[in-house]
Each structure stands twice: as C-alpha cells, then as structure tokens.
Amino acid sequence: MKKKLRPLLLLAVAYGILAITMPVEGLRALGTVGRYFKEVAFILPPVFVLMGLLDAWVPKETVELHLGHTSGLRGILLSIVLGSAAAGPIYVAFPVAVTLVRKGTRVLNIVVFLTAWAAAHLPMIIVEMRFLGLTFALIRTGLTLIMGVTIGVIMERMAVPIEVADEPAQVN
Amino acid sequence: MYTVILYTLAVVGVIFSSRASKEKTRKALIIGGKSLLNMLPPMLTLVGVIGIIMVFLTPEWIAAHLGKEAGPIGTLIAALVGAITLIPGFVAYPLAGSLYQAGASVMTVAAFITTLTMVGFVTAPVESQQLGKRFTLWRNGLSFLSALVIAYVMGVLLP
C-alpha cells in the first residue's frame, strides 16, 4: 500500500515546489488537475459497473472463441471493430482490456484493441479529415492499425505477459 | 453526452441483470467496485502528472515550437511531445492542422499525431497497474518506434 502511494507523495512535493517557485503556473496546474479529476470521477463509476456486469454475464467460452488464441484474422478484425466502436478516453480502455484478458483474449488482440481505441475512432477520423485532409487521415489510420497488429505479433513472439491486477473472487 | 450514455447503459444493465439474478448482480457490482478502488491511486497519479506537464506543454507552446520545420530533429521532438502529452482529439487535430499550416512537414505532423494516439506516457501508471509493467513497457516502446516508421512513410508518400 505504501509503495502504491509513493508516486502521489512525489507529486505532492512537485506541486509544493511549483507553488513556491511559480505560483501562477502552480495555480494553472491545479486548475487542470481539477478539470481532469472531475472528468475521471464522472466517467469511471459507470464504466466499472458495466465491466462488472460483463464479467458476470459474458461466458468465458464466447470471448475465448472469438478473441482467443484460435480466433485468427477474424479475431483481429473484431478487436479493431470493438476498439474503434467504443468511445472515450484511453484510460477507460484499460479496465475493458482487463475484462477481455480475464475472459481469454490473446495478447495480440488486446494490443490491436488498444491501438484501435486510441487511433481509429470514426468520429475522430472525421475531425482529422477536416483539419489534415482525407488522404492523411486514411493513410495514418491504416498504417497505425497495421503497426498495431505488428506490435501485437511481436509481443506474442517475445512472450510478453499481461499481468492483470486483481483476480476477482470466482463468479459462477 | 458520452457520460450520459455511459450512465444510462449502466443503469439499464443493472436493472436487467438484477431481474435475471440478484446474486450475480451483487457479485458484478462488488467486482466493479473493487477494480475501481484499485485503479484509483494510479488514476490520481495520472491526473497529477497531466497538471504539471500541461503547465509547460500548452497547445500554444506546441504551436510556437513545432510549427517551424526543423528537419529530422523537429520530427523527433514532435514525436516526444506527442508521447508525453494527453490532448483530446478535438483539440489535437486543429492543433496539428495549424502546425502544418505554420510550415511543419507532413512527417513532423504525422509523428506528433501518431505518438499522441499510440503512446501514453502519462497513462502508463494506469496501464501498468491494470495490465502489467512489462506489457506497458513493450507496448509503448514498440508503439513509439512504429510512430516514427509511420511518420517516415507518410512523409515519403505525402510530400
């Protein structure tokens, strides 16, 4: 527990130094913290309720079949669809990924899911098209997804494990 | 809007779930609550780190410093800035557009946008707590290298 709180302590010290040396910037930093904290505090509770429900109701066999080790190309495509259809900040994707891992999703598909979540949202691609052009948006999204699959394949080859934080009490 | 949808889904989900099984719903909520508590400390770290980083790397600072084309070094700096900041898309894309108009190359803009989306320095504590340290290091490290590759390819394809 103490170790968990160490980064927070360090941050408190950093804010102390900031407040003394640069009060204006310190206040601005606190403002940013307040804004983000509000966002996080509102978003996370329903996300975790939904994760809990998913955990309780979706059978492991189903997820394993569609996203597990034998899911192949269809599993990759499904991960892209899931990642890009879901909306929201990337930190929401991590607990979703944890639930998917618990249900038997392979590392490759988790990486693809996270990459798609972060880089291939349809509404965001439309914004990107407006400011950077259609060609830019399509090529960037395409290349990012290809690299996401590549990274996933490399990580599986290197046997990089996923260490899920807390195994919940056995349900069912 | 997004939050409203989330809450609606959660409430409807709980109602349907408890109609089907009170016991399972109770367990689901306990699991959700426990996981939420576990995620809280790294989440607070994330919020605190963003506060400090955003004091120095404001969108204005980025526009002023990455707008001038500075060759490969400029591209690398753009990639690093993208990796350590967390800017929502509706701010990031206009910003990237203005960088391009100010004279930054396609390679630099692509590097910035790609690391911004693929690499998360401030979200790493949360990712690490949820999915493990090794997974987080590998994924973000490889994503950073990929972003450089993507930026290079885009610079060649879209002069």
Q: 3-class secondary structure for B45-72?
A: HHHHHHHHHHHHCCHHHHHHHHCCCCHH
pLDDT of residue B59: 84
| pLDDT score of A87 more than 80 | no
Instruction: Lowest mean pLDDT of A99-103, A114-118, B46-50, B55-59, name the range.
Output: B55-59
Residues of A with Cβ-Cβ distance to B147 under 8 angstroms: 147
Residue B41 near residue A97 (C-beta atoms within 8 A): no
CA angle A4, B131, A87 (to 5 degrees): 110
pLDDT of residue B7: 95
The torsion defined by the Cα of B25, B30, B36 and B40, in degrees rounded to 10, comes to 160
**DSSP annotation string for A49-82:** HHHHHHHHHS-HHHHHHHHSTT-HHHHHHHHHHH
Give the number of domains in chain B. Answer: 1
B50 in any annotated domain: yes
Q: How far off is chain B from A120, nearest CA to CA, in Å?
A: 9
B87 in any annotated domain: yes
Residues of A with Cβ-Cβ distance to B35 under 8 angstroms: 48, 51-52, 95, 98, 165-166, 168
Q: Reduced to 3 states, what is the DSSP secondary structure of residue A29?
A: helix
Interhelix angle B124-131/B133-157, rounded to 10 degrees, is 130
CA angle B1, B2, B8 (to 5 degrees): 90
Residue B47 near residue A40 (C-beta atoms within 8 A): yes
pLDDT of residue A2: 61
Measured between CB atoms, which of B13, B46, B88 is closest to A53?
B13
B134 in any annotated domain: yes
Q: Name residues 58-77 of chain A within 8 A of B (Cβ).
A: none
Q: Reduced to 3 states, what is the DSSP secondary structure of residue A158?
A: coil
DSSP letter, residue A148? H
B115 in any annotated domain: yes
The tokens for A86 are 């879901």
Structural domain boundaries enclosing B151 = 41-157
B18 in any annotated domain: no
- With tokens 């290349």, the residue in question is A143
Residues of B with Cβ-Cβ distance to A29 under 8 angstroms: 51-52, 54-55
B29 in any annotated domain: no
Percentage of chain B exceeding pLDDT 70: 100
Interface contact flag, B146 A151, Cβ < 8 Å = yes
Q: How far apart are CA B65 and CA B108, in angstroms?
A: 12
Q: Best residue in A3, A39, A136 to probe B by mutation, most B CBs within 10 Å?
A: A136
Instruction: List helix spans (H) across chain B.
Output: 2-20, 22-56, 59-66, 71-84, 89-101, 106-118, 124-131, 133-157
Q: How far apart are CA A39 and CA A33, in angstroms?
A: 10
- With tokens 């034998």, the residue in question is A70
At A7, the amino acid letter reads: P
pLDDT band at A172 (very low <50, low <70, confident <90, very high): very low
DSSP letter, residue B105? -
**Phi and psi at residue A64, to the nearest 5°:** -60, -40
Tell me which chain A residue has its CA closest to the CA of residue B11.
A46
Count the Cβ atoms, other than its own, within 10 Å of residue B21.
Answer: 13
Q: Reduced to 3 states, what is the DSSP secondary structure of residue A170?
A: coil
Interface contact flag, B10 A163, Cβ < 8 Å = no
Residue B60 near residue B102 (C-beta atoms within 8 A): no
Residues B14-20: what's their mean pLDDT?
Answer: 95
Residues B114-129: what's their mean pLDDT?
Answer: 94
Give the list of residues 6+ apart from residue B65 with CB closer than 8 angstroms, or none. B77
pLDDT digits (tens, 9 = 90+) for A11-60: 889 999 998 998 988 888 899 899 989 989 999 999 999 999 999 999 99
CA angle A15, A17, A19 (to 5 degrees): 65
Q: Best residue in B14, B109, B143, B145 to probe A by mutation, most A CBs within 10 Å?
A: B143
